[in-house]
């Protein structure tokens, strides 16, 4: 597997499904994707049953990152580190911890604490100078230059498009490897952002079903000039829809049998998670 910086030099867009644990990351890898996006929102949804409103700690994110990397080593892992969990010194610790845990890229955003999902209303921002300092701190803290720093600005919703683009330019100057302008409202705004910023650093598009940004196919995002497209919460939304249907069927029928066509059989699930291989490995030590 080439390093992520080299991969982003390719003209092909990097389509990146969201994951929330080692199992979801394993399925992403088995589906043939090159990268996975560890979504802070999805960790909050699945670990706590709570919204993305700043409830996660660094330990929560690092634990999931390590679990994923212990199981899956053939994909680039982009990790959502929220605000970096504090000031510039906290950011440096965040980068060191997540890099050791196996992150290929670490995303930091310029929201004030407590942060919230980028497609919720009521966000606040820290100053652009403070965020630029956090980006510099992140770049200084990484041990491997191949670990990328993704700078996200949430300023579109708070200050407007032009201030958001100015912030992104400052973050590029501070050393950000990838730029992420969150919650752009129209295709025209997306094109404007790319026209200003794509020459500075690879641009990331966030495809949130039902969010504020238009959902575009990856071919169109690539044609616009994006280099990465993340689908952060789609995995959890698909899981939730399927599980609600399963539970409603079980409640109505008193058996799982009507749902069997929508389920992996016992043996098939064991093949997915590698049970035969692990049992064979264990027999080597008997």
Dihedral angle of Cα 130, 18, 272, 267, to the nearest 10 degrees: 130
Sequence-distant (≥ 6) Cβ neighbours of residue 231 within 8 angstroms: 15, 16, 17, 18, 37, 207
The residue behind tokens 């794509």 is 198
Confidence (pTM) = 0.96
Question: What is the residue-level pLDDT of the chain in tens, covering all 286 positions?
Answer: 789 999 999 999 999 999 999 999 999 999 999 999 999 999 999 999 999 999 999 999 999 999 999 999 999 999 999 999 999 999 999 999 999 999 999 999 999 988 888 787 889 999 999 999 999 999 999 999 999 999 999 999 999 999 999 999 999 999 999 999 999 999 999 999 999 999 999 999 999 999 999 999 999 999 999 999 999 999 999 999 999 999 999 999 999 999 999 999 999 999 999 999 999 999 999 9
What is the spatial distance between Cα 54 and Cα 52, in angstroms, rounded to a whole number? 6
């Amino acid at each position: 597997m080439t390093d992520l910086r080299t991969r982003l030099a390719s003209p092909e867009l990097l389509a990146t499904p969201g994951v929330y644990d080692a199992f979801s990351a394993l399925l992403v890898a088995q589906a043939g994707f090159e990268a996975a996006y560890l979504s802070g929102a999805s960790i909050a949804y699945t670990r706590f049953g709570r919204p993305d409103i700043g409830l996660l700690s660094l330990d929560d994110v690092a634990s999931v990152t390590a679990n994923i990397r212990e199981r899956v080593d053939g994909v680039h892992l982009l990790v959502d580190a929220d605000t970096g969990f504090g000031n510039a010194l906290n950011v440096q610790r965040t980068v060191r911890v997540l890099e050791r845990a196996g992150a290929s890229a670490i995303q930091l955003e310029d929201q004030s604490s407590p942060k919230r999902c980028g497609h919720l209303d009521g966000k606040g921002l820290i100053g652009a100078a403070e965020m630029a300092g956090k980006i510099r701190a992140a770049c200084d803290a990484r041990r491997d230059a191949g670990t990328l720093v993704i700078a996200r600005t949430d300023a579109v919703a708070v200050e407007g498009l032009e201030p958001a683009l100015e912030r992104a330019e400052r973050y590029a100057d501070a050393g950000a490897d990838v730029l992420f302008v969150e919650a752009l409202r129209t295709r025209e705004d997306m094109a404007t952002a790319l026209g200003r910023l794509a020459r500075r650093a690879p641009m990331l598009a966030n495809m949130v079903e039902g969010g504020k940004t238009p959902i575009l196919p990856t071919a169109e995002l690539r044609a616009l000039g994006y280099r990465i497209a993340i689908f952060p919460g789609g995995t959890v939304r698909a899981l939730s829809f399927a599980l609600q249907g399963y539970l409603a069927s079980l409640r109505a029928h008193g058996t799982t049998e009507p749902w069997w066509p929508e389920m992996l059989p016992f043996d098939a699930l064991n093949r997915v998670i590698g049970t035969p291989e692990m049992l064979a490995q264990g027999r080597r030590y008997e």
